[in-house]
Structure 1
Amino acid sequence: MTTVGTWNLENLFRPGGPFGPRDQGAYDAKLAGLAAAVAASGADVLAVQEVGETAALAELAGRLGGDWQQVTSAHYESGHPIRVGFLSRLPFEVVADTAAFPDGLGPVQSGDGGEAIRRAGRGLLAVRVAEAGGGALVLVAAHLKSKLLSFPPGPSGRPRFQPADEGERARVAAYALYRRTAEAVTARALADRLLEGRGEERQVVVMGDLNDGPEAATTQILLGPPGSELGTPGADRPDGGDGARLWNLAPRIPEDERYSRVYRGRRELIDHLLVSRALLGRAAEVRTLRAGGGGLPSVGDDPAARRDAPASDHALLFTRLGPA
């Protein structure tokens, strides 16, 4: 059995900078909370998001004990350098690390001045993991553009988390949606490359913080050919599109656990595990785990408000893969 999961670590920076904990005590508490939850999940390999510093991820790996290794994407935004990565106690190799939009997809508007972007804000990192039983998994870590909006700096030079007016709010929300959509297309293009139409035999997982629910259009883009989703009559029937499809495991999460973040008091499932046909029968158990064993904190629109908080504002999502 191999346990695979994904977790947004919420601004994993070492103390003293503009984003991470203010002091060593808060940082140590965060690492302790993260390490305890990873251990409780039994994860063998974990896709992680919001790694601000590779040294901090290495320190987390050290807290886990054993032979945990880590890797991070080379692609991130300089203004807020969070990136995706992997923690693994199984051998792995990097097979892709990309951010550029695929051929055919043009740049998208990202601001009122008409500026455009041509790449994802965070890289998409893919690794090939060797299972203890001799099989191989190809895992992709993703982190799409957030729904939490930040606005251009005001006179203070600091980013704003409240708009000047509702017109600005609507425009910035549109820019974020354009970007998240383009990033979903980019992730789907990488999945196509890894699957090569052979999803019945290739064990591929695309996972991470997709920043929207299972029914959102951006999440649906990642599934590939429509039809056969879990919970539909065609879910268990072989189909011509199965070589290219990915299945969202969300319906297999126990209903009372089916959320990964709480925003303004509302439960949301925005972290996802999408598997190829070859893994659909193996991924029978799918769970979420909240650090400390309690409920998740409700978050608002200012991420800086939680810079000294322990662990993460997201739940860890994982699946235990049965025998092939």
Structure 2
Amino acid sequence: MRLATFNLENLDDRPGAGDFADRVRVLAPQLQRLRADVLCLQEINAHALTKHGPREVSALDRLVAGSDYEHRHRVVSLSRGGVRPADRHNLVVLSRLPVLEHSQVWHDLVPPPSYRPVTAQPRPDLPEAVEWDRPILHVVLDAGGGQRLHVVNVHLRAPRAAWLPGQKDGHGRWNSIGGWAEGFFLADIKRAGQALEARLLVERILDSEPDALIAVLGDFNAGDHEAPVRTIRGDEDDTGNGHLGPRVLVPVERSIPESQRFSVIHRGRRILLDHILVSRLLLGSFRAAELHNETLGDELISPALVWASPESYHAPLVAEFSLRPSR
């Protein structure tokens, strides 16, 4: 079984979103190369094809048309109302394995904290809810032999300052460093909160299935040793309790040589923001991991940014497992 994650970077086929035909020519071979049985995608945009029609992920439909992924089981995240996909940045799971259950978690386990901004203009009279930008997508798959595979697709908030009333001009520039700093603080709350909710979801799964096969994967917008990844992993170094070792999630990408262990190039710095974290039982079936980062450009200074590059500035990560029927 091959399990993969890939942030497709604002996949959209609406007019003004760049040359979509070029995107298909670049991205379709990357997807095919993954040979993924289960593929977790991030940043899939949706829109209505007719004025009053339902919102659809038409760009994804066009990207996978004619490929091995076209007729896979599909689960798409929904907006806060839970009725239809959001305009931007949906999560998608495409699976060869049958889907047994699926749900999304969005403030179901962690209520939004209340905060009264200091630099907002005007400053609100009362604290306001700080909500996450996206849900967590939980899909339970039939892995054969009576085994259930829990796939948790995540896209955590990027460490970029959140908007504050009256603190940005019409060109997207911050009016004060204090305003930017508070926006950066709020973004960190959102990212930390999403990570906590993902970990609590893992806890809930393990409470009901102590030997569960679990993979939490996606764009964490954080490195291996940063707080969001540590929160979801629950490493013994942090808890100080060896009895919790069976509940720790393990990053399979650590099997890749460090010189090749990057999924994003940010202003010349190679960093790993995309991860596959697995439970101990699933780790027993782990065989190998791959990062397809040979064509990565720099997400901030690539010349292609001037004409809307068809590339994604994230590299896909894939892990291979050899699952055996349960006893």
* TM-score calculated relative to the size of structure 2: 0.81
For the structure 1 residues 70 and 59, does the alpha-carbon distance in structure 2 shift closer, same or farther, using more than 3 Å as the test? Answer: farther
For the structure 1 residues 38 and 263, does the alpha-carbon distance in structure 2 shift closer, same or farther, using more than 3 Å as the test? Answer: same
For the structure 1 residues 47 and 197, does the alpha-carbon distance in structure 2 shift closer, same or farther, using more than 3 Å as the test? Answer: same
Distance 1:156 1:32 in 2: 37
Say if 2:153 is the partner of 1:141: yes
Distance 1:108 1:28 in 2: 44
Query: How many residues matched?
Result: 304
Partners of 1:39 and 1:64 within 8 A in 2: yes
User: Which of the numbers 282, 285, 288 marks the counterpart of 2:288?
Assistant: 285
Partners of 2:168 and 2:174 within 8 A in 1: no
Deviations 1:158-182 (A, max 9, x none): 571x423332332221111111111
Deviations 1:245-294 (A, max 9, x none): 2112231122232011111111110111110111112223111113xxx3
Partners of 1:129 and 1:136 within 8 A in 2: yes
Deviations 1:103-138 (A, max 9, x none): 577335678346633542111111112236663311
User: Which of the numbers 172, 177, 180 marks the counterpart of 2:188?
Assistant: 177
For the structure 1 residues 116 and 241, does the alpha-carbon distance in structure 2 shift closer, same or farther, using more than 3 Å as the test? Answer: same
Residue equivalent to 2:295: 295
Who wins on radius of gyration, i.e. which is larger?
2
Q: CA deviation at 1:84?
A: 1.1
Amino acid at match of 2:321: L
Distance 1:71 1:307 in 2: 32
User: Which of the numbers 263, 274, 297 marks the counterpart of 1:271?
Assistant: 274
Q: Give unpaired runs (5+ residues) of structure 2.
A: 47-56
Q: CA deviation at 1:315?
A: 0.3
For the structure 1 residues 178 and 108, does the alpha-carbon distance in structure 2 shift closer, same or farther, using more than 3 Å as the test? Answer: farther
Distance 1:206 1:275 in 2: 6
Distance 1:108 1:128 in 2: 35
Residue equivalent to 1:249: 252
Partners of 2:140 and 2:151 within 8 A in 1: yes
Partners of 1:284 and 1:322 within 8 A in 2: yes
Q: How does 1:12-161 map to 2 (within 5 A)?
A: 12-16=11-15, 20-21=17-18, 26-53=19-46, 54-65=57-68, 67-75=71-79, 81-100=88-107, 102-103=109-110, 106-107=113-114, 112=120, 113=123, 116-131=128-143, 135-149=147-161, 151=163, 160=172
Look up the SS of the partner of 1:241 in the other structure: helix
For the structure 1 residues 251 and 305, does the alpha-carbon distance in structure 2 shift closer, same or farther, using more than 3 Å as the test? Answer: same
Distance 1:156 1:163 in 2: 4
Partners of 2:45 and 2:86 within 8 A in 1: no
CA-atom RMSD in angstroms: 3.3
For the structure 1 residues 81 and 36, does the alpha-carbon distance in structure 2 shift closer, same or farther, using more than 3 Å as the test? Answer: same
Q: CA deviation at 1:93?
A: 3.8
For the structure 1 residues 152 and 313, does the alpha-carbon distance in structure 2 shift closer, same or farther, using more than 3 Å as the test? Answer: same
Distance 1:307 1:191 in 2: 41
Partners of 1:34 and 1:311 within 8 A in 2: yes
Distance 2:155 2:301 in 1: 18
**Bigger RCO (CA 8 Å, 6+ sep):** 1
Moved more, 271-280 or 281-290: 281-290
Q: CA deviation at 1:69?
A: 3.5
Identity %: 27
Q: Give unpaired runs (5+ residues) of structure 1.
A: none
Moved more, 93-102 or 252-261: 93-102
Distance 1:79 1:155 in 2: 26
Deviations 1:51-81 (A, max 9, x none): 1112222222324246323221113699962
Look up the SS of the partner of 2:133 in the other structure: strand
Residue equivalent to 1:319: 319
Distance 1:129 1:159 in 2: 46
Distance 2:262 2:107 in 1: 30
Partners of 1:252 and 1:284 within 8 A in 2: no
For the structure 1 residues 107 and 317, does the alpha-carbon distance in structure 2 shift closer, same or farther, using more than 3 Å as the test? Answer: farther
* TM-score calculated relative to the size of structure 1: 0.82
Amino acid at match of 2:129: I
User: Which of the numbers 151, 158, 164 marks the counterpart of 2:175?
Assistant: 164
Partners of 1:198 and 1:243 within 8 A in 2: no
Q: CA deviation at 1:148?
A: 3.4
Distance 1:151 1:159 in 2: 13
Distance 2:149 2:273 in 1: 23
